[in-house]
Chains A and B, each alone.
Chain A
Amino acid sequence: MLSRTAENLYWLARYVERAEYLARTIDATLRVTALPAAYIGKTNEWDSALLTAGVAESFYQTHEEANEHNVVDYLSFSADNPSSIRNCIEAARLNSRSVRTALTSEMWDTINSAWIELQEVWSKGTSTREELAKFLRFVQETSLRFDGSAYRTMLRNDAYWFSRLGLHLERADNTARILDVKYHVLLPEEEHVGGPLDFYQWSSILRSVSALTAYHWVYRETLKPWLVADLLILNGTLPRSLASCYDNLVRNLDQIGVAYGRQGPAQRHARGIRNRLEHSNMNDIFQHGVHEFIQEFIADNSRLGEIITKQYLI
């Protein structure tokens, strides 16, 4: 297939995944900030939402402080923020148009209808909490529909694999970021860990990666930071865990390698990361420092993106 087509499919999946993640982040933050102050402590949840979205720096170039109004606007509707939900959806639609021939009609229909529907939201914004909630739900549902139609209607060939690569790479990045912010920024001191206040913080993390129910099924325990980390980093059964993302990345890259009759640096690099995850346990990670571990992971993960680009997409 054309390199440009593969590139578009890869980014299309990334944009849709990112839009969903942003919607979940806002959703989870709204929930936490609705709690009485005593339950959430003094941290500015909206600041941390910016950090998990990786846009804090650009935000503070044009804003003094982070509050619900301006962060929701920046993450959802801002045309200036290159990774706002709006720009993700716009970019996804543009990418879809450029590779229409590689998409199934169901996938195109999902993106195009969502784009048409959202034009009105872009022009009017959301004036009430209810409208905002509806919008956030719509974005998440669009991502689910898109993912579902890709899964159910695409031929299992390189077009599918490249789009999956984009999805899992983006997802791994998102999961890693949210963990890092909560561990590093919100809980620098060990004494907080396990307090009543944390319950809401941790449940909010899990909610933003849709893993709250999963946690209870897996551990049958109250929320504990190290178990949350274990679930999100090492548990291969949770679709958003780093381990699961890498199982998928390795598998999809292998499928491409087999189909093209040749392996390359992308396959080797992905396998390296997966092996490291497989041979880690939470004790080691805590010893090493969660922050350091995740920072390394984020760098490795984005390195994989570069290698894939070089090997296949240009």
Chain B
Amino acid sequence: MAVAFDEMNIPGGDLRPAYQELARWLKETPSEALEYRRQEAELLFRRIGITFAVYGESESTERLIPFDVIPRIMSGKEWTVLEKGLKQRVKALNMFLRDIYHGREILRAEIVPDDLIFQNPVFRPEMNGQQVPHDVYVHIAGIDIVRVDAEDFIVLEDNARTPSGVSYMLENREIMMRLFPDLFARHRVAPVERYPDELLAALRSVAPHSASGEPTVALLTPGVYNSAYYEHSFLADKLGVELVEGRDLVVKNNEVFMRTTEGLKRVDVIYRRVDDDFIDPLTFRPDSVLGVPGLMSAYAAGNITLANAVGTGIADDKAIYSYMPDIVKFYLGEEPILKNVPTWRCREPKDLAYVLDNLSELVVKEVHGSGGYGMLIGPAATKATIEAFREKLKREPEGFIAQPTLALSTCPTCTASGLAPRHVDLRPFVLTGSKSTTIVPGGLTRVALKEGSLVVNSSQGGGTKDTWILDE
């Protein structure tokens, strides 16, 4: 594996410009002070109740995502490139979805193979030919970005269903500003706090035409036991909208209402954090108690906007991912600004053969997996694990893709033995309304806290950092 790109230090001893002030500050600040602030931050997180649940552990388990107090810093110039690339990517995702559920030109042009769409469980035939308000499918996208050198941004994963983590972006900043006012005074950090306002504006802008002048927005959560519940309540609060569960909503005459103390009240836009499968027991899983019976028929009647739309999974599917550069070119006629990780599609015999020969050097992922579950990291795996995986792969090659093990960039991070480089990724949040696409400067930086680890997922020992975009 190549040497990882260090975001702070240039080989040879110099510092990258964005980190110079931080390095000075670190030199002046004793390590006990850092440790003390770290503990203070943890206490704040607990008191505010910023916790998440880990599935499989007992219900009462609430865990903190470890927070690293050293910020991750990017220059304004770097951000400008990234921002442009993100907007381009999300625009293409939306056009792709619109096309897949309508004309399917991209299939006729044979850019993407048919069976990858039609045999894909996340493809929703219910959405065929259905008009979604303002043609927006992915209102909120979380695009996972990694770096391997100073030039390129690489997309690791598109999250076009119900991406989470934005509350950490906002709370991390809040807590950093409380704990390190002097450090902020020495930098000009672009603010992130307008995210909720922009989200609300985007959601309102896509209200169905039958909505009143002041559309009513609600946030649909699976409930307190969901791992991201804190984020749901946090966002509802910041947006000033009701946080509803399925049982609070009812569909009558193809309109959606919430049960209030004053009777039924119409809802126009649902920012839903419930997966497609569970959203309407009459259409999808009949055993779902999290959804709203009849929601899909109100959706079809054009009386409710769901954000994100139903069926967006077909755009962030790992099998589709490898076609993204072609998808961008097809719809926009532009070269993609953000790169893709080179990807072997195990469904193709030639690729499969290569993957089977090189398992110990590759990362193999389940096409439909998420959260870092069910994947093989070749270089870190034992022989036995690799062999077991090989069998799985042979049995169902179409269920997997493989990628080279990337040397994710590193940032300085607090560890038990002082500051040390740890691998990071970045999830910026892209908002698409009826008229515009916006991104607050920054995102959620996740950091693999274990030395050498490349897995940044919070369910597997990852932590988070505040992400600073310098306003130059």
Which residues does chain B contribute within 8 Å of A1, judged by CB atoms? 242, 260-261
Q: Size range of the interface on B? A: 20 to 34
Question: Which chain B residue has the least Cβ–Cβ distance from A314?
Answer: B259
Which residues does chain A contribute within 8 Å of B47, judged by CB atoms? 109, 112-113, 116
Which residues does chain B contribute within 8 Å of A6, judged by CB atoms? 261
Q: Is the CB of A4 within 8 A of B259?
A: yes
Contact with B along A1-26 (1 / 0, CB 8 A): 11111100000000000000000000
Q: Which residue from B49, B229, B237, B260 sits with its C-beta under 8 Å from A2?
A: B260
Q: Size range of the interface on A? A: 20 to 34
Which residues does chain B contribute within 8 Å of A256, judged by CB atoms? 261
Given the contacts A94-B224, A97-B224, A109-B47, A3 and B261 also touching, CB distance less than 8 Å: yes
Q: Is A108 in the interface zone, CB < 8 Å from B?
A: yes
Q: Which of A154-195 contact B (CB under 8 A)?
A: 158, 162
Q: Is A217 in the interface zone, CB < 8 Å from B?
A: no
Q: Is the CB of A3 within 8 A of B237?
A: no
Q: Is the CB of A100 within 8 A of B237?
A: yes
Which residues does chain A contribute within 8 Å of B236, judged by CB atoms? 101
* C-alpha spacing A312/B49, complex, angstroms: 29
Q: Is B396 in the interface zone, CB < 8 Å from A?
A: no
> Within the complex, what minimum Cβ distance (angstroms) separates A167 from chain B?
17
> Within the complex, what minimum Cβ distance (angstroms) separates B43 from chain A?
10
Which residues does chain B contribute within 8 Å of A153, judged by CB atoms? none
Interface centre among B229, B233, B245 (most CB of A within 10 A): B233
Q: Is the CB of B49 within 8 A of A4?
A: no
Which residues does chain A contribute within 8 Å of B242, judged by CB atoms? 1-2, 5, 101
Q: Is A58 in the interface zone, CB < 8 Å from B?
A: no
Q: Is the CB of B258 within 8 A of A2?
A: yes
> Within the complex, what minimum Cβ distance (angstroms) separates B236 from chain A?
5
Q: Is the CB of B233 within 8 A of A2?
A: no
Q: Is B73 in the interface zone, CB < 8 Å from A?
A: no
Question: Which chain B residue has the least Cβ–Cβ distance from A100?
Answer: B233
Q: Is B247 in the interface zone, CB < 8 Å from A?
A: yes
Q: Is B115 in the interface zone, CB < 8 Å from A?
A: no
Chain A binding surface SS class: helix
Given the contacts A100-B233, A101-B236, A116 and B259 also touching, CB distance less than 8 Å: no
> Within the complex, what minimum Cβ distance (angstroms) separates A46 from chain B?
30
Q: Is the CB of B237 within 8 A of A101?
A: yes
> Within the complex, what minimum Cβ distance (angstroms) separates A117 from chain B?
11
Chain B binding surface SS class: mixed
* C-alpha spacing A101/B301, complex, angstroms: 31
Which residues does chain B contribute within 8 Å of A162, judged by CB atoms? 261
Q: Is the CB of B245 within 8 A of A4?
A: yes
Which residues does chain A contribute within 8 Å of B244, judged by CB atoms? 2
Which residues does chain A contribute within 8 Å of B430, judged by CB atoms? none
Q: Is the CB of A4 within 8 A of B233?
A: no
Q: Is B243 in the interface zone, CB < 8 Å from A?
A: yes
Q: Is B110 in the interface zone, CB < 8 Å from A?
A: no
Question: Which chain B residue has the least Cβ–Cβ distance from A313?
Answer: B261
Contact with B along A94-124 (1 / 0, CB 8 A): 1001101100000011001100100000000
* C-alpha spacing A158/B260, complex, angstroms: 11
Q: Is B252 in the interface zone, CB < 8 Å from A?
A: no
Given the contacts A97-B229, A100-B237, A4 and B224 also touching, CB distance less than 8 Å: no
Q: Which of A277-314 contact B (CB under 8 A)?
A: 312-314
> Within the complex, what minimum Cβ distance (angstroms) separates A92 from chain B?
13
Which residues does chain B contribute within 8 Å of A112, judged by CB atoms? 47, 49
> Within the complex, what minimum Cβ distance (angstroms) separates A264 from chain B?
11
* C-alpha spacing A101/B46, complex, angstroms: 17
Q: Is the CB of B49 within 8 A of A108?
A: yes
Q: Is the CB of B248 within 8 A of A2?
A: yes
Q: Is B262 in the interface zone, CB < 8 Å from A?
A: yes
Question: Which chain A residue has the least Cβ–Cβ distance from B240?
Answer: A101
Interface centre among A101, A109, A260 (most CB of B within 10 A): A101
Q: Is the CB of A2 within 8 A of B224?
A: no
17 A–B pairs (Cβ distance < 8 Å), ordered by A? A1-B260, A2-B242, A2-B244, A2-B259, A2-B260, A3-B248, A3-B261, A4-B247, A97-B49, A97-B233, A100-B49, A100-B234, A101-B233, A112-B47, A113-B47, A260-B262, A314-B259
- List 10 other contacts, CB 8 Å, given A1-B260, A113-B47: A2-B242, A2-B244, A2-B248, A5-B242, A97-B49, A97-B229, A100-B243, A112-B49, A116-B46, A162-B261
The 4 closest A-B pairs by CB, nearest first: A100-B233, A101-B237, A312-B261, A3-B259
